[in-house]
Chain A
């Protein structure tokens, strides 16, 4: 079976060679766990191979994100890297105060339409939506969210792109069932220091390493110690 690299060597080993292309995967983890960095590794690996990639941010403004990623040595100014800023802040919507849930929910459908248009117009191979949490929190009706999310995945599947979605929610959600794989980024407190662990929770169609492996966020991005364990 064909595999594509995540851009993180140790994670590729855990995934038995990398992700299966053309499928959707979920990256879960708390704030500061490195979800965005992992996704950028994934996209930049595509860029290195001459592929066109799409990054959609729903939380962190794209300019700030690019600045941080440049610091880590990622070539985010490469024309093959296309970044879309879909943050509600941009539209001055204060969704945390609960005032504009519906507008933002409608916005999700708009967003799906916009993504589809981009995918129809250009040949992207890798797409990231970071994070899905925003959308989930803005939709009051769980059933509607499921329907919308499932519809979104079906639409995306038509374009044969490999999709990474990030989520800050640890509890099992509908996304966990609908995607082909789930990668969790966890943190542990050991003697007053944070030790980070990465776990492949699910990976349809492939064997994978089920052990939580330590990882570090360094000045050059994420480094996974695929042979080590957190003792």
Chain B
């Protein structure tokens, strides 16, 4: 699997089936990266989304064949077992975008969400899927974040810094079989993701 974002694909290499890619971010920043990957693999992709995000993704023509599993519609937030059960039924080779770790952290303690993520990782490995999950790193403590990283095969980190009222966004590969990288500038304009020059 490839993201369809040249520099990121160069840094990560081909992502094999059974991989779990965790994007540690701030808020929803970087959703566009997952969306790029879903577009690139739209014939075999499924998104676990909130209602809001489903409405947005349905407007993207390249994602017209994508299947959705909707938080609060297809399962209640308390029924984590229904999510793992759905995931178990997805065929090998599919790309799964998991967009609702944030709302789960509102309903459950972070340890429970970690256990859920660990189960999800295990199913991804057994069923030979590729899973990309997005997590607001401010919602979990360092220990839990380390546990999330431990069950992921690839970790991408997105950070923001202020430089004289100018927001600079950076992206780096924190963990991957190819190794880690330094920060590169992350530019998101009109939904298009570009990775620029190295930072620092």
In the complex, are the beta carbons of B88 and A195 less than 8 A apart? no
B binding-site residues for A, Cβ under 8 Å: 76-82, 84-85, 88, 107-108, 112, 115-116, 119
Residue from the list B81, B112, B116 in contact with A214, Cβ < 8 A: B81
Residue from the list B76, B81, B85, B88 in contact with A231, Cβ < 8 A: B81
A binding-site residues for B, Cβ under 8 Å: 190-193, 195, 214, 225, 227-231
- Per DSSP, chain B at the interface is helix
Residue from the list B77, B88, B107, B116 in contact with A227, Cβ < 8 A: B88
Given A231-B115, A231-B116, A231-B119, check contact A190 B85 (CB 8 Å): no
For residue B144, give the distance in angstroms from its CB to the closest CB of chain A: 14
Residue from the list A193, A228, A229 in contact with B78, Cβ < 8 A: A193
For residue A104, give the distance in angstroms from its CB to the closest CB of chain B: 41
Residues of A within 8 A of B81 (CB): 195, 214, 225, 228-231
In the complex, are the beta carbons of A231 and B112 less than 8 A apart? yes
* Nearest-neighbor residue (CB-CB) of B113 within chain A: A231
CA distance A191 to B106 in the complex (A): 10
In the complex, are the beta carbons of A214 and B78 less than 8 A apart? no
- Residue with the greatest number of chain A CB neighbours at <10 A, chosen from B81, B82, B108: B81
In the complex, are the beta carbons of B88 and A193 less than 8 A apart? no
Residues of B within 8 A of A193 (CB): 76, 78-79
- Residue with the greatest number of chain B CB neighbours at <10 A, chosen from A190, A193, A195: A190
* Nearest-neighbor residue (CB-CB) of A190 within chain B: B78
3 tightest Cβ-Cβ pairs between the two chains A and B: A228-B81, A214-B81, A190-B78
Given A231-B112, A231-B115, A231-B116, check contact A191 B77 (CB 8 Å): yes
Besides A191-B108, A231-B81, 16 other A-B contacts (C-beta < 8 A): A190-B78, A190-B107, A190-B108, A191-B78, A193-B78, A193-B79, A195-B78, A195-B79, A195-B81, A225-B82, A225-B85, A228-B82, A229-B81, A229-B119, A231-B80, A231-B108
